[in-house]
Amino acid sequence: MSPTAAHAVIIDYNGVIGRQPSALMWRRLATLAEWPPDQLDSFGDAFWAPREAYNAGELSDLAYWAEVLGHHPSPRWLRTLRTADTAMWIRTDPDVLAILSRARAAGLPMVLLSSAPHFLADVLDATDWRRELMTDAVYSARKCSSRSVCLMRHRRRRSLPARTSTTLDESAQIEEAALRHRRPVLLPLLERHELSS
């Protein structure tokens, strides 16, 4: 195997496989939260302020939405908000999934890395693409204080040296790749794997 070939690819979900929510989705969620329609910016602030703790599993669904709303929602309202919130993050890029299908067919192990909260993580785990393409999935809400901790734990568990794995996330490399629609980042990894296997 050549020094540049990857043994595995660790792929961030949001921004790589997962598409960003549309403006319409944000407006719908704000409406369901009974937020004033002329204050969408403040809704975004309220949504994101406790999100890191929610994604890390430190807040329950009820505690998170109580922070966003400023009061506890009813059980039915909570289910409605959680369902709409989840729906915003489960759309995927079919072109990226097609490339990952090729990589999986070539035998390249792939691990999904995500900061999804518990409920969203369960939904992602139940998708066909997650079961068929990913060797494993690591979520920050599942006993990891951060995605970097999750990543280190996964590498130790799988005895996967950092130098033989490649991580695709929303860091500088993905920002640079966005200029090329992200997909060319995945193609060289697949080509290197195929040439070295």
The CATH number that applies at residue 118 is 3.40.50.1000
Residue 24 pLDDT > 70: yes
> Do 97 and 192 sit in the same domain of this protein?
yes
Q: Which domain holds residue 52?
A: 23-87
Least confident of 28-37, 81-90, 111-120: 111-120
- Enter the tokens of residue 193: 């794997």
- Give per-residue pLDDT as tens, 57-67: 999 999 999 99
Inside any domain, residue 55: yes
> Do 165 and 81 sit in the same domain of this protein?
no
What's the confidence (pLDDT) of residue 6? Answer: 54
Residue 148 pLDDT > 90: no
What's the confidence (pLDDT) of residue 138? Answer: 86
> Do 65 and 97 sit in the same domain of this protein?
no
What's the confidence (pLDDT) of residue 141? Answer: 83
> Do 100 and 135 sit in the same domain of this protein?
yes
> Do 136 and 43 sit in the same domain of this protein?
no
- Give per-residue pLDDT as tens, 153-190: 444 454 444 444 444 454 444 334 333 333 334 444 44
> Do 178 and 191 sit in the same domain of this protein?
yes
> CA separation (Å) from 114 to 14, 18, 36, 163?
7, 10, 31, 21
Strand partners, 111: 10, 136
Q: Residue 3 burial (CB < 10 Å; 0-12/13-18/19+)? A: exposed
Specify the number of domains making up the chain.
2
Helix, strand, coil shares, percent, the chain, to 5? 55, 10, 35
The contacts found for 137-141 with CB under 8 angstroms, 24 or more apart, are 137/111, 137/112, 137/113, 138/111, 138/112, 138/113, 138/114, 139/114, 139/115, 140/55, 140/56, 140/57, 140/114, 140/115, 140/116, 141/55, 141/56, 141/57, 141/115, 141/116, 141/117
Inside any domain, residue 1: no
